[in-house]
Amino acid sequence: MSYQNVPLIITGPFKQLLTMDHIPLKGSLKDAQLEVVEEAGIVHQDGKILEVGLFKEICIKYNSFNSEIQLVDNDIIAIPGLVDPHTHICWAGSRENDFAMRLEGKSYQEIAQSGGGIWDTVTKTRAASDEELKKQLILRANRLLKNGITTCEVKSGYALDLAGELRLLEIIRSVREEHPIDLVSTCLAAHIKPKDFEGGTGEYLHFLTEQLLPAINKNRLSYRVDIFVEEGAFGVREAGIYLRKAKSMGFELVVHGEQFTSGGASLAVKVGARSVDHLEMIGSKAVKQLAASEVVAIALPGASLGLGCRFAPVRKMLDAGCSLAVGSDWNPGSAPMGDLLLQTAILGTFEKLTNAEQLSAITCRAAHSLNLDDRGILKKGKIADFTGFPGRNYKEILYQQGMLKPSMIWKRGILVKR
């Protein structure tokens, strides 16, 4: 073994450690499939895991190396750093009026038609300064990290013009370069057709492929493209044309689909998308199509809670053989809560998901949905992102339905919360 001059760090002992190793990427799971290491330790160096095992044994094994022991004094349960695969946390303004209108019985579409909805946030975001947008993004990233999330996807989509969308992606990149959390940017310029665009939805998507996407490629601002396939946004046919063009340009594809109407999941399968997100209205045929594909299903229970609508039928999807991840969908309109663990616990309660299914959906399977297979699992060679919850049994995490918060968080081997 050669470890050069970079010190090895041995962190532990943890009362329990869930590696999330050997978890299949698709299908239902039992808790017995979880690998649980008692009185565990993690050996890491330069942000990467070298070994996971019994704390006492690895202390003896690495005693002769240039090692540092980082003791964990209290009872702590360690799991991989949480991964939120779907957020919209780069925005300005607030939409409390939308929420009040929903409580009075107005629908999502009715609120949008009355001047609320996505366009309201677009107007406020366009008017905000770079400094204000960056400040708000940092504050939200801070909250996510505090809650144990070490990797987070962030969408643009609240500018909907050439300069504005590039600005949002540049701000996301700027925060990513200085913040501990890993931010994965996604271009969602195909959120809705902006009201000030002269032309139809197909012409707007053509504008994006001809002007915006080449600029994103040139400046390496994102490698992912998303589109909202829904009534009031974009139809299945035109979305297919847009996504295939984006794919030919080298972008990874994501689809907002099946939130209110059907069609998005089948499209995601046809174009080879990485994921299809929402799925509240998915039917049996589309579930079978997803299960037979490599497309990851991302459920967004925060939107169901914010809108007061049904959850995605994730029990049915897992039993059919789908790959399931869960995202918070944190946004100013339909999902303003932004608490991934709480939302996952609520979804798990209503859909009867096991601990293994819930935890994999926000660790290893969520990482896979972002094509980041270097994290979400605690094993040799993976990034040393791990989260510590107070307690002696991993089942306490979901038993407390999101109210048990992390007390210790490591990002690339660095303790960022204690």
pLDDT for 200 equals 97
Task: Give residue-wise pLDDT tens across range 194-217.
Answer: 999 999 999 999 999 999 999 999
Dihedral of the CA atoms 116, 119, 122, 126 (nearest 10)?
Answer: -100
Other Cβ atoms less than 10 A from the Cβ of 67: the count is: 18
Residue type, 128: A
Share of the chain above pLDDT 90, in %: 92
**CA distance readout (Å), 393 to 18, 396, 406:** 10, 6, 14
**Cα–Cα distance between 60 and 254 in angstroms, integer?**
47
Residue 2 binned pLDDT confidence (cut-offs 50, 70, 90): very low
pLDDT value, residue 4: 55
Buried b vs exposed e over 74-91: b needs ≥16 C-beta within 10 Å?
Answer: ebbbbbbbbbbbbbbbbb
8-80+376-417 matches 83-369 in fold: no
pLDDT per position as a tens digit, 253-276: 999 999 999 999 999 999 999 999
Place of tokens 């998507």: 205
Element spanning 112, H or E: helix 108-113
**Closest-CA residue to 91 (of 59, 132, 46):** 132
What's residue 201's pLDDT? 98
Q: What is the pLDDT of residue 114?
A: 81
Q: Please state, in angstroms and rounded to a whole number, the distance separating the CA atoms of residues 122 and 187.
A: 15
- pLDDT, residue 377, reads 98
Is the pTM higher than 0.85? The answer reads yes
Q: pLDDT tens digits, residue range 220-235?
A: 999 999 999 999 899 9
Here the tokens at position 363 are 């660790």
- Reduced to 3 states, what is the DSSP secondary structure of residue 381? coil
The H or E element spanning position 43 is strand 36-45
Would you place residue 38 in the very low, low, confident or very high pLDDT band (cuts 50, 70, 90)? very high
Query: What is the CATH code for 83-369?
Result: 3.20.20.140
Helices vs strands, H then E, count in the chain: 17, 16
- Which amino acid is it at 110? E
CA distance 246 to 210: 10
Query: What's the pLDDT band for 1 if we cut at 50, 70, 90?
Result: very low
Mean pLDDT, to the nearest integer, of 397-407? 96
Model confidence at 3, in pLDDT bands (50, 70, 90)? very low
User: In this predicted model, what pLDDT tens digit does every residue of 113-162 receive, in sequence order?
Assistant: 888 889 999 999 999 999 999 999 999 999 999 999 999 999 999 999 99
- pLDDT of 297 above 50: yes
Backbone phi and psi for residue 60, each to the nearest 5 degrees, phi listed first: -70, -45
Q: How are beta strands 8-18 and 182-190 bridged, if at all? A: unpaired
Spatial CA neighbour of 338 closest among 302, 389, 298: 302
At residue 107, the pLDDT reads 85
User: Which band of pLDDT confidence, cut at 50, 70 and 90, is reported for residue 64?
Assistant: confident
- The pLDDT of 355-370, averaged and rounded, is 98
Runs of H (alpha helix) within 130-283: 130-146, 162-178, 201-207, 213-219, 236-248, 264-271
Q: What is the mean pLDDT of residues 389-398?
A: 98
In terms of CATH, what superfamily is 8-80+376-417?
A: Urease, subunit C, domain 1 (2.30.40.10)
| Contact predicate 80/21, CB 8 Å | no
Q: Domain coordinates of the chain in residue numbers? A: 8-80+376-417, 83-369
Of 342, 287, 334, 341, the residue nearest 314 (C-alpha): 287
